[in-house]
Amino acid sequence: MRDWEENVRKVVPYTPGEQPKTDGVIKLNTNENPYPPAPGVKKVLESFDVDALRLYPDPKIEMLVDAIADFYGLDSSKVFVGVGSDDVLAMIFMTFFNSKKPILFPDITYSFYNVWADMLRIPYEQIPLAEDFSIVPSDYYKANGGVVFPNPNAPTGKLMPLDQIIDIIEQNQDVVVVVDEAYVDFGGESALPLIDKYDNVIVVQTFSKSRSLAGSRVGFAMANPVLIKYLNDVKYSFNSYTMDRITIEAATATINDRAYFEETTAKVIKTREWTKEQLKRLGFTFCDSKSNFIFAKPANVSATKLFEDLKENKIFVRHFSSPERINDYLRISIGTDEQMQTLIRFLENYQC
Amino acid sequence: MRDWEENVRKVVPYTPGEQPKTDGVIKLNTNENPYPPAPGVKKVLESFDVDALRLYPDPKIEMLVDAIADFYGLDSSKVFVGVGSDDVLAMIFMTFFNSKKPILFPDITYSFYNVWADMLRIPYEQIPLAEDFSIVPSDYYKANGGVVFPNPNAPTGKLMPLDQIIDIIEQNQDVVVVVDEAYVDFGGESALPLIDKYDNVIVVQTFSKSRSLAGSRVGFAMANPVLIKYLNDVKYSFNSYTMDRITIEAATATINDRAYFEETTAKVIKTREWTKEQLKRLGFTFCDSKSNFIFAKPANVSATKLFEDLKENKIFVRHFSSPERINDYLRISIGTDEQMQTLIRFLENYQC
């Protein structure tokens, strides 16, 4: 080993779901939206002034910040925009989780939280979910350096009621509490109204799921202006110009089309409910998902075996080999009706 | 102050150059390219499959990594891609500058280096440039946690000869040495061949200047595969999917058009040489720039006054109020011939 290697930050990175390069795959493994982006995105590309790409974008991303603020009826000073909600969350970890006390998050949750904490040398404690995969608010009453959890939780899809979120916030007034709402638009109740009552709460959302723009990388945070200012200071200390000109316009066109958003999320919800019935009929067990995926345990076959057999038949779902408590489950994203029918047909005829 | 504020990473962010929102401005303040992106970018937008934006992009950005590797005759394992060279440099600081010894960089240089170091709690020492704004290699012989400098330097535009860079590298075999070549395509000699001889050298470049894509946010690093692997591990621990699908294709089309790149950089160089002659004639003093800007001191007026008067006449240049040694200078980006003629005409008739 050379001496310079001693100064290297050595980390074990997050492993994203596979992005298969072959065609004809039914891709139910990374919780993407089965419907295309809002029609306005195509118009943006058609009329985009390519020459303007020689110029830096607006570092404040005002066009998009204002559009998000409009959509949610907020002042723009309460909105922060980043390159996907992963970028937003990474910035939040850097900005607000600098205590010597551990931050708290569930043991079964978005598997990037411990990666960020490890990388940024943030102490953390993973709080076990209850037997039924619920987050138990009273487990978060202890002294800590911050709290973060998704709602609905990932990869369980389970929604925590708002009064329990309020309970966690009330008991954690001296730290920042982050509610990661990547999947909230599929039937969850957002904690957004709480940002006006509690100055230590951040709500994070993304364009990657309910807004069909995973390929554009857009996420955002909403909180009181003091938190947003601190977050922007760190962002501007990292990279002044994070979001490219085309994405700013495409994302603005997307958030401005409320009707399309409501139509496509309603379709995903409807397909999810149908899929739940079918999986139940086929003996799968799962908790009630309010997200765009179902986290389900097959009846008479190991999840690993079914995962591989599905993959062989060009149906990609996600399997997590750890922690052990969830390795009997598969996370199945909600596709189109046709895709889910194909999945169910496969399962009906499946001989393991 | 609320208790949660104690855990906040409080920073003083980098201040980017102004992005004026009014039309008709001659914008010579952020070193953008006056020529539009390569024609292939327009074709990418015209034929782009918008529906694909619902899917995550390739986290490895292989299409673009391979194209950059091809352009420079490298193996793809030697190329790292980020969201602008600021993102690349921030990742490099996080990955490689974790020593307790200070990292070294010039006192007059890209003003983001100390911002990253402050934000990431990296100790640093700013080494004064010589009287003539040169970087003096022997100043970098001392024990340190890493070395970073731009070549040509910013905002001076001054090029360091390759033998002096080799000297710095030879004397710093136990740390990572970063050569930030944002402006090298305008007449500098790249340190790229050194990455095969020295396993601790990283060369950073950008699409924002010589490739007319500041608005798309693309930067890259080239180094031996071990360094690139460490860098990717940290990147994947921060954000798995940093670059959006459109930008990956647009940047690939850009790097694949070598002829357009050579034509436009030659034009900028020609205009720069003409501008130097004119500024000299008008009594400005400056060191010999090999970048797409000239860092020049006016003869009979303060830089601050001239900056304001230019701005009033819709000509934007950049002025740095600190450090004191450079506050008599203006950094003037090279625009089109016509833009520079307008600037020179203004200066010829200028009465302060």
3-state helix, strand, coil in chain A (%, to 5): 40, 15, 45
- The 10 Å Cβ neighbour count of residue B322 is 8
CB atoms within 10 A of CB B12: 12
Q: How far, in Å, CA of B345 to CA of A7, rounded?
A: 53
Q: Which residues of chain A does B87 touch, with a Cβ-Cβ cutoff of 8 Å?
A: 238-239, 242
- Mean predicted confidence (pLDDT) in A51-69: 97
What was the pLDDT predicted at B142? Answer: 96
Q: Where are the beta strands (DSSP E) in B51-123?
A: 79-82, 103-106
B195: tokens are 């990455």
Q: Which long-range contacts (CB under 8 A, 24 or more apart) does A258-261 make?
A: A258/A71, A260/A38, A260/A39, A261/A38, A261/A185, A261/A210, A261/A211
| Predicted confidence (pLDDT) per residue in A177-229, tens digit | 999 999 999 999 999 999 999 999 999 999 999 999 999 999 999 999 999 99
* CA distance to A108, A130, A138, per residue, from A142 (Å): 19, 17, 8
Place of tokens 């998050």: A105
Chain B residues with CB under 8 Å of A146 CB are 7
* Strand order through the sheet with A124-127: A79-82, A219-222, A201-206, A177-180, A147-150, A103-106, A124-127
> Phi/psi of residue B126, each to 5°?
-95, 115
State both tokens at B267. 């034009």
Measure CB to CB from residue A84 to each of B52, B99, B241 and give the nearest one.
B241
Amino acid found at B77:
S
Q: Which of A7, A97, A236 lies closest to B146 in CB terms?
A: A7
Q: Choose, out of A50, A99, A235, A247, the residue to mutate when testing the contact with B (most B CBs < 10 Å).
A: A50
pLDDT at position B12? 87
Cα–Cα distance for residue pair B191/B50, rounded to 1 Å: 39
pLDDT at B352: 65
Cβ neighbours for A198, distance < 8 A, ≥ 6 positions apart: A169, A173, A177
Query: What is the predicted pLDDT for the residue at B312?
Result: 95
**What is the rounded average pLDDT of the residues A219-244?**
96
CA distance, residue A185 to nearest chain B CA (Å): 16
Q: What is the pLDDT of residues A78-136, one digit of tens each?
A: 999 999 999 999 999 999 999 999 999 999 999 999 999 999 999 999 999 999 999 99
Q: What is the pLDDT of residue B18?
A: 78
Torsion sign over Cα A140, A144, A150, A156: negative
Whether residue A294 contacts residue A286, with contact meaning beta carbons closer than 8 Å, is answered with yes
- Residue with the two structure tokens 């493994």: A29
Q: List domains and CATH numbers for chain A.
A: 21-37+259-348 (3.90.1150.10), 39-256 (3.40.640.10)
Question: B11 touching A, CB under 8 A?
Answer: yes
DSSP letters along A80-126, please? EEESHHHHHHHHHHHHH---SSPEEEESSS-TTHHHHHHHTT--EEE
pTM greater than 0.95 (yes/no): yes
List, in order, residues 6 or more apart from A23 with CB less than 8 Å away.
none
**Percent of chain A whose predicted confidence (pLDDT) is above 90:** 93
CA distance A102 to A93: 12
A45 contacts B51? CB cut-off 8 A = no
Q: Give the C-alpha separation, B253 to B247, whole Å.
A: 10
* Nearest in space to A116 (alpha carbons), one of A149, A142, A87, A84: A87
Low-confidence stretches of chain B (pLDDT beneath 70):
352
Q: What is the pLDDT of residue A352?
A: 65
Residue in B317, B295, B292 with CA at minimum distance from that of residue B210: B292
CB count, 10 Å around CB of B302?
14
Rounded-to-integer distance, Cα A344 and Cα B13, Å: 53
**Contact yes or no for A32 and B94 at CB 8 A:** no
CB-based contact A4 B237, cutoff 8 Å: no
Helix orientation angle between B39-47 and B245-255, rounded to the nearest 10 degrees: 150
Beta carbons within 8 Å of A349's beta carbon, 6+ residues apart = none
Cβ(B107)–Cβ(B129) below 8 Å: yes
pLDDT of residue A328: 96
pLDDT of residue B23: 80
Biggest CA pair distance of chain A = 60
Q: Is A49 on the interface with B (CB under 8 A)?
A: no
